[in-house]
Amino acid sequence: MTEPADYGRLIVQGADRPGIVATVSGALTEHGANIVALDQSSSDPSGGRFFQRTVFHLPGLSEKLDALHGALDAKLGDELGLDFRLVEARRRKRVAIFVSKMDHCLLDLLWRQRRGEIPMTVPMVVSNHPDLGDDVRQFGIPFFHVPVERGKKAVAEKEQLNLLKGNVDLLVLARYMQILSGEFLDELGVPVINIHHSFLPAFMGAGPYQRAKERGVKLVGATAHYVTEDLDEGPIIEQDVIRVSHHESVRDLQRKGADVERLVLSRAVGWHCEDRVLRDGNSTVVF
């Protein structure tokens, strides 16, 4: 997590073909970069999709970034038809957090940010309720209250977009109890991560702990996923579970589940901020 100025990340993905690893590592080495860590995966030995995350060290990275990008564009883009992203590790992602009234996921993220566990900045927290303003501002972070009135979601989303546009690289829904419209997601143009309080695809939709109790499951879980227009259907980043027993009430399940929710969401956001999560259709590759 130490990110001196000279570290970079190269994310490559596309149709698999022989020689990609050699080409990528060769291109980096030619430009004087030393590969510090490399993860690679293919969905299938032949004809599959290819994924690679490379961390490299290159003295004077900032000045050389444009030249390196150009060279990679020629080699990886034009010749091999691959998508790639070139990222300076020192540029922390700007992460906005949407929240309603529950504080556990929010506080866990803010506390990890303060400890330096997640390489992100948090330019703002936005809520449809005023309750968590004090907690947020104690971390030195702006808190904006944007009420969502019944039947006037479009108004609220417009106000939210005004706050977010151009200011953030990621939006995190930390138990935000409103559904975002497809227009909002399109307009926003950056990834959105949500935490769902069940082990998806079990208990999609509302009231998962209540339904878990009714079904008598022996484990409850949580799922962090990218948000798409299809509610609770987006690519899963991380999941985990905790054991529960017959003597526990719905409220007990909520409490135990809250511990899983905050861990799962924090892991997912941390991995995203380190460019470890690559989308593969409706799945993810997590390096």
**Of 200, 265, 269, 273, which one interacts with a second copy (CB under 8 A)?**
200
Residue 236 CA, chain-centre distance (Å), reads 10
Q: Residue for token digits 């904006």? A: 144
* 137 interacts with a second copy by CB under 8 A: no
Q: Footprint of a second copy on residues 156-195 (CB under 8 A)?
A: none
Query: Of these, 180, 241, 265, 269, which contacts a second copy (CB under 8 A)?
Result: 241
Interface residue with a second copy among 146, 219, 231, 250 (CB under 8 A) is 219
Residue 240 sits in the site that holds a second copy (CB under 8 A): yes
Six-digit token pair at 55? 């961390």
DSSP-derived letter for residue 178 is S
Name the token pair of 32.
């004087």
CA pair distance 161, 189, nearest whole angstrom = 10
Cα of 181 vs its chain's centroid, Å = 19
- Examine residue 255 and tell whether it contacts a second copy (CB under 8 A): yes
Annotated catalytic, 232?
A: yes
> Which residue, 111 or 144, has its beta carbon nearer to a second copy?
111
Distance CA 100, CA 198 (A): 18
With respect to a second copy, which residue has the nearer C-beta, 128 or 254? 254
What does R_g of the chain's alpha carbons equal in angstroms?
21
Nearest approach, Cβ of residue 161 and a second copy (Å): 29
CB 146 within 8 A of CB 159: yes
Strand partners, 126: 98, 144
For residue 44, what is the DSSP state? S
List 3, 92, 111, 190, residue binding a second copy (CB under 8 A): 111
Tell which positions 20-49 bind a second copy, by CB under 8 A.
20-22, 25-26, 28-29, 34-42, 45
Tokens at 145, concatenated: 């209250």
- Tokens standing for residue 7: 């570290």
Summarize as ranges the residues that interact with a second copy (CB under 8 A): 1, 18-22, 25-26, 28-29, 34-42, 45, 57, 103-104, 107, 111, 115, 117, 138, 199-203, 214-219, 221, 235-241, 245-247, 251-252, 255, 259, 263, 280, 282-286
Give the residue numbers marked as catalytic: 232
